[in-house]
Amino acid sequence: MAKTIKEKKPKIKPGKLEKREARMGYVFVAPWLIGVVLFLLYPLGQSFRYVWYNIRITPVKTNFIWVGTGNFTQIWLENAEFPQQLVTYIWQTIVEVPIIVVFALMIAIMLNGKIKMRGFFRLIFFLPVIIVSGPVMNMLVSEGASTIPSMNVQTIISAFNTFLPLKAAQGVGEIFSNMIMILWYSGVQILIFLSALQKVDPALYEAAKIDGGSGWECFWKITLPTIKPMILLNAVYTVIFLSGNEQNQLINMIENAMFSGTKEKGYGYASAMAWMYAVVVTLIVLLFFLLLGSKKDSYDRMADRRKKALKKEERLHRKIQRRNRRNAGKRERALSSGKYKTYDGSGDY
């Protein structure tokens, strides 16, 4: 049996218009590439280099004294505040992120409904993102605007301390004491959820209601699976935002270590703290990715199993065809060599 020869498709050279569009694409992407190289990759490489040195800045020059892993050991052995703040940050972030994401989802669902002055309420919930930043946030926190006056935080801490360790109970109490400030951070998340909810096809809800589905069932079967990628996006955004927020004690600690005038601290010491902090933030992001990552539902899994079964059957069919061709070739060679004789049906061979 003759083998089929695959014809090679001729290569089509791009025309002048396509080349010009490609060049313009590089022109539009160039500012972003330059910004990434100058303001992201270069500072990252520079800070990673600083980790291994004790840097002293003098009026004449900058002295780099090699210390190896000395900055890391000094942080963990001599700075008792940094590990404590790191554990507090991990606990608070793991608790605060679900609170912010769930609150943003609830507000987005309400703002997506048919209510009066819907645009005004959307502006109200997004306004803190524009106003509450930098010195304004520091001023509001110093005036006590981030706390609920009628909430007794000590009572909450004592209640949680009955079944949680003291440090965990204090972390929960601090979350309740800063509840207003935490909910202020949900403006961007509300906007992302709102845009995702507006992309859901209303025909899905109509079909579900015709079949007798309630609003709760529509939320769990239609809304939540549809906006699931946005939940992961909001969780990652919230982790990054809380990690780089000006109210974060670790950020202030790293900044104070960087501009410290002592011999032990400085740029190298602060760079080591920053890299350990970055590793912790990355691990938290990976944790939320594992928890909220896109997992296939039962229908997708059934479809994948069906595809795998079809591929297996196709491979078995090709294997049988190759075996039949080999057997047919052997038989033809044997007949042509006269090793075997065929029976003609008349009793003679």
- Closest alpha carbon to 223 in 105, 137, 90, 314: 105
- Cα separation, 105 vs 228, in Å, equals 11
Per-residue pLDDT tens digits for 196-237: 888 888 888 888 888 888 888 888 888 888 888 899 999 999
Fold for the domain defined by 74-295: MetI-like fold (1.10.3720)
Per-residue pLDDT tens digits for 57-70: 777 888 888 988 88
Contacts of 257 (CB under 8 A, 6+ apart): 265, 266, 269, 270, 273
3-state secondary structure of 293: coil
- What confidence tier does 96 reach under pLDDT thresholds 50, 70, 90? confident
Domain positions in the chain are 74-295
Per-residue pLDDT tens digits for 134-175: 666 667 666 666 666 656 666 766 776 676 666 666 666 666
What pLDDT is stored for residue 3 in this prediction? 45
- Cα separation, 239 vs 245, in Å, equals 10
- Cα separation, 118 vs 232, in Å, equals 26
- Closest alpha carbon to 67 in 87, 49, 91, 92: 49
296 with 73: CB under 8 angstroms? no
- Cα separation, 8 vs 15, in Å, equals 21
What is the model's pTM? Answer: 0.72
- What confidence tier does 4 reach under pLDDT thresholds 50, 70, 90? very low
Contacts of 76 (CB under 8 A, 6+ apart): 82, 83
**Structure token digits, residue 280:** 């912790």
